Chain A
C-alpha cells in the first residue's frame, strides 16, 4: 500500500484515540498527569476507555447487575504506566506536581503512603456526596502508575467488581 495511504489511515486511528482523550478532558474528574515519555520512553501501558464504550460494556454485562451499574456510572477510565527501572526521581517529581494541583483543586486525599523508595497517593473528587473522579498514583523502583477513573463511582461497587473479576493479574 502506498505510504501516504498508510499515513492517513494511521493518523485516523490516532485521531480516534485523541478524540476519546478530548471527550474525557471535558469532564470534572479528568486529571492531566503530564508528560513522562521524555524520561522513561513511551508508556508500557496506556489505556483510555471513553464513556461510549463503557455504556456498551454496561449493556453487555446485564447478567451482572453490580458490574453493569458500575460501568453505567463511569464516564472514562485512563491509565498510564511507565517503567522506572530504578530511576524514580522524575516520576516522584511529577507525582508531587499532580498532587499539588489536586490539593488546590479541592480533591480529597484518601490514602497517602510515602516511603523512601515508593509512594502511593489516592485522591477523590467529590460533588456533594457523589464521587466525580478517582486518582491513584503509585511510584516505585519498577514502575510509575497513574490512574484516573471518571464518573460516578461507588467504591463498594468497585471493590465488589474487583473481587468478581479475575483481576489478580501478575503485573
Chain B
C-alpha cells in the first residue's frame, strides 16, 4: 500500500508547476523577467539520485509525454529531454559526491541545460524570435533564481521522502 505513495508524490510534483503559475502573476516584474517553475524536474532528479535511476527515467518518459501533450502541444520535447538529463545527472553524481550543496550546483546546471535545449528547439521550429542574450537575461537567470529558492526550501524534505520510499521498496 505504501508503494502507491511514489506515484502520488510524482503526480503532486507534476501539477505543482501549473499550480505555481496560478498563484504567480504572469505580469510580475512587468514581464522583464520570466521565471519558469521546474519543480517536477527537480523532483525527478532527486528521485534519480536518492531513489532509483531507472525508475526515474521511466517516470521521466511518461510524465514528459504528458507534459508535451497537455501543456505544450509540441510532442517529443520533454519526452526526450527529461530522461536524457536524468541519465546524465546520474552519471555526474557518480563522479561527484552527492552532498546537498554539490547537488544544488548540479541541479542548477541541469535546469540551465534543459532551458537552453528547449530554447534551441523553439528557435529551430520558429516558435520564438528571442535572441540568445535576451533569453539568457529574461528567462534563464530568473528561472535559476526561482528554482534555486525552491531547492533551498524543499531539498531536505524531498531527499527524506525519497530515502524513506526506497526503504519501503527494499
A and B from one complex: no
